[in-house]
């Protein structure tokens, strides 16, 4: 009998007792892993990721192993093709998956690298279900949202728990309760709570308390209706977090507690604060972490000494972050998505970390390069103490970016080029220093006379949007006695995250280097340039990275290239200030003139 007929025969003989479909990973131990599910009501964009990651940090500080997961409702397989104006920046994980920006929030607050197991979309879920159906794994049954799609979600969560040996899995459901696209996630989590038993799953509802200016008081009706929608789906929240502009008053919190059947001590005011990094300590003060331990019955897993040490380190950082600063400086970010800060969220956060560690009140000036002519670059950069040209795709605004690079190079203005900003620096140097006036990139002009930026031959063989991208963590070899070596504490090799298609054409590397450009970071095996710089006796701080250094910026471990930029900005804003008063760790001494290194593959 053919295999397909075997499967159909087995399906036909399936008894009533085996109709219940609930796949569980082999070796899964019920009760070993706990779950916290966070839902949003009233509207999207409330900060579910911030709340979830802050709560996860508190438990991690106590010595528990935590594993977050973001579950998106859209049908895209990943976030790689989403418009930044609609969804903010694309955050790239070390394993190369392009994800939602909330994964960056988790990595920063938890200070741990995540994987593709920590992120999913409806598209991924449906594809796995359909692949299994095509391979006959459902024994010929009619495949349905319940139990097969919800079963896939539960399997994925349990599998994540096992793979990452997590004590607690934090599940963030994207979108808003009541949306069609996330309904099956909510149902799957309801089923999970039923199957895992009491004290295994904690439900958190994030809601919004409105405060109309015309009324001058907080109103809870929208929050009540949003919570009602969640309870109609069969989910009784254990904790309610109230987003609001100002601290939520007791009267409103009492109404919400009564309407949702949640005790007052489990209703948390998540109002606007000076920094999201203050939220974990506010949660701890309110006792929210202890409530979670009680709800999940995991008090005995806490390691008190580890918690005390972690809290002290975090408190020191937050005190500096929210305290008075010694210096002031201004950084200009020149990009085509400057109107939307979420498009450069990781850059914004990387600068915030550095500003705390270097005690500088850092003003960020967002400069849209699509809105001015290249001839206006000097005027647009007037008054800034450092410039970042961030990553991006497409030709719009690139000539203005190149003009900004030229201004920084010629005026000694501290500069950091990221991905496209690295490529813009190469093009500017080729045009204005090497004399290749028609230098450019084949991304913008396929018939460019001097394509100093091009797709490498092996990449041209790969077809499909996104298919020819270099994505995820890659090793970078650092040349000794360079600015890059100084910033990365004399490391010979570092690991950074990439997201790009185009490279410096190896044929032009000797000419670029002979005119003074230094490629101080390279691929370990291939002629791929990954860091460029000017020697510090020529320019105080001029560096570019083909990778995205901002993706690895952490509150307690600020990113070195950003630390160097901010330190240089402080010195630019405060000329004559001794380096030791700023930071000799991040201000390199002027370099000696040396011969350029031999290029790999030259």
Catalytic (active-site) positions: 419, 548, 550
Distance of alpha carbon 96 from alpha carbon 393, whole angstroms: 18
| Phi, psi (deg, nearest 5) at residue 415 | -140, 140
Helix, strand or coil, per DSSP, at residue 202: strand
Distance of alpha carbon 258 from alpha carbon 170, whole angstroms: 26
Upper half-sphere CA count for residue 348 (Cβ side, 13 Å):
18
157, 31 Cβ separation under 8 angstroms? no
Q: Which of 416, 350, 387 is nearest to 550 (CA)?
A: 350
Local structure of residue 206 (DSSP, 8 states): E
Q: How far apart are the first and last CA of the chain?
A: 62
Distance of CA 602 to the CA centre of its chain: 36
Distance of alpha carbon 532 from alpha carbon 427, whole angstroms: 12
Phi-psi region at 178: left, alpha or beta (left = phi > 0; alpha = psi -120 to 50): left
Distance of alpha carbon 135 from alpha carbon 123, whole angstroms: 18
Is the bond preceding residue 147 a cis peptide, omega within 30 degrees?
yes
441, 421 Cβ separation under 8 angstroms? no
CB atoms near residue 31 (< 10 Å): 10
Helix, strand or coil, per DSSP, at residue 477: strand
Distance of alpha carbon 512 from alpha carbon 489, whole angstroms: 26
Distance of alpha carbon 579 from alpha carbon 567, whole angstroms: 9
Distance of alpha carbon 22 from alpha carbon 219, whole angstroms: 42
Q: Which of 592, 591, 438 is nearest to 508 (CA)?
A: 438
Distance of alpha carbon 417 from alpha carbon 389, whole angstroms: 5
CB atoms near residue 290 (< 10 Å): 14
Q: Which of 146, 157, 158 is nearest to 183 (CA)?
A: 146
Cβ neighbors of 561 (< 8 A, separation 6 or more) are 416, 487, 543, 545, 549
According to DSSP, the residues that pair with 471 across neighbouring strands are 499
Distance of alpha carbon 104 from alpha carbon 114, whole angstroms: 9
Distance of alpha carbon 478 from alpha carbon 423, whole angstroms: 19
| Phi, psi (deg, nearest 5) at residue 464 | 100, 135
418, 363 Cβ separation under 8 angstroms? no
């Amino acid at each position: 009998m053919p295999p397909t007929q075997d499967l159909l025969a087995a399906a036909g003989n399936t008894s009533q007792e085996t109709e219940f479909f609930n796949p569980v990973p082999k070796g899964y131990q019920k009760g070993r892993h706990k779950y916290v599910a966070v839902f949003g009501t009233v509207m999207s964009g409330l900060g579910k990721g911030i709340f979830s990651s802050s709560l996860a940090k508190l438990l991690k500080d106590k010595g528990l192993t935590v594993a977050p997961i973001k579950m998106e409702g859209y049908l895209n397989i990943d976030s790689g093709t989403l418009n930044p104006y609609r969804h903010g920046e694309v955050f790239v994980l070390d394993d190369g998956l392009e994800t939602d920006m909330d994964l960056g929030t988790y990595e920063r607050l938890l200070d741990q690298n995540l994987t593709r197991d920590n992120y999913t979309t409806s598209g991924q879920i449906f594809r796995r279900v359909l692949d299994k159906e095509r391979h006959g794994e459902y024994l010929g049954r009619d495949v349905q949202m319940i139990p097969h799609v919800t079963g896939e979600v539960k399997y994925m969560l349990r599998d994540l728990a096992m793979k990452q040996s997590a004590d607690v899995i934090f599940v963030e459901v994207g979108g808003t309760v009541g949306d069609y696209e996330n309904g099956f996630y909510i149902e799957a989590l309801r089923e999970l709570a039923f199957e895992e038993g009491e004290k295994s799953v904690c439900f958190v509802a994030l809601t919004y308390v409105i405060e109309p200016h015309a009324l001058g008081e907080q109103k809870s009706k929208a929050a009540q209706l949003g919570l009602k929608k969640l309870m109609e789906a069969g989910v009784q929240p254990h904790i309610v977090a109230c987003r609001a502009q100002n601290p939520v008053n007791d009267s409103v919190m009492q109404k919400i507690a009564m309407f949702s059947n949640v005790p007052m001590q489990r209703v948390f005011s998540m109002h606007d604060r000076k920094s999201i990094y203050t939220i974990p300590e506010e949660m701890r003060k309110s006792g929210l972490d202890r409530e979670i331990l009680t709800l999940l019955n995991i008090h005995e897993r806490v390691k008190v000494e580890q918690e005390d040490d972690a809290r002290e380190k975090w408190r020191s950082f937050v005190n500096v972050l929210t305290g008075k600063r010694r210096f002031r400086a201004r950084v200009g970010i020149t990009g085509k998505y400057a109107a939307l800060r979420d498009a450069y969220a990781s850059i914004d956060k990387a600068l915030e970390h550095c500003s705390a560690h270097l005690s500088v009140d850092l003003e960020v000036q967002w400069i849209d390069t699509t809105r001015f002519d290249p001839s206006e670059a000097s005027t647009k950069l007037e008054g800034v103490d450092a410039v970042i040209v961030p990553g991006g795709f497409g030709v719009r605004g690139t000539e203005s970016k190149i003009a900004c690079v030229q201004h920084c190079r010629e005026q000694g203005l501290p500069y950091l080029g990221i991905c496209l900003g690295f490529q813009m620096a190469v093009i500017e140097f080729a045009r204005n220093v090497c004399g290749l006036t028609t230098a450019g990139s084949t991304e913008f002009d396929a018939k460019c006379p001097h394509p100093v930026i091009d797709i490498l031959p092996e990449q041209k063989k790969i077809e499909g949007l996104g298919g020819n991208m270099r994505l995820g963590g890659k090793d970078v070899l650092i040349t000794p006695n360079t600015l890059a070596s100084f910033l990365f504490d004399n490391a010979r090799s570092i690991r950074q995250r990439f997201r790009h298609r185009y490279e410096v054409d190896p044929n032009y590397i000797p000419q670029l280097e002979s005119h003074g450009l230094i490629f101080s970071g390279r691929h370990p095996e291939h002629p791929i340039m990954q860091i460029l710089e000017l020697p510090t006796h020529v320019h105080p701080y001029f560096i570019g990275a083909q990778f995205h250094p901002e993706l690895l910026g952490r509150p307690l471990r600020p990113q070195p290239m950003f630390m160097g930029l901010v330190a240089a900005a402080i010195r630019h804003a405060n000329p004559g200030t001794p380096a030791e008063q700023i930071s000799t760790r991040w201000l390199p001494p002027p370099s000696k003139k040396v011969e350029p290194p031999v290029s790999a593959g030259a």
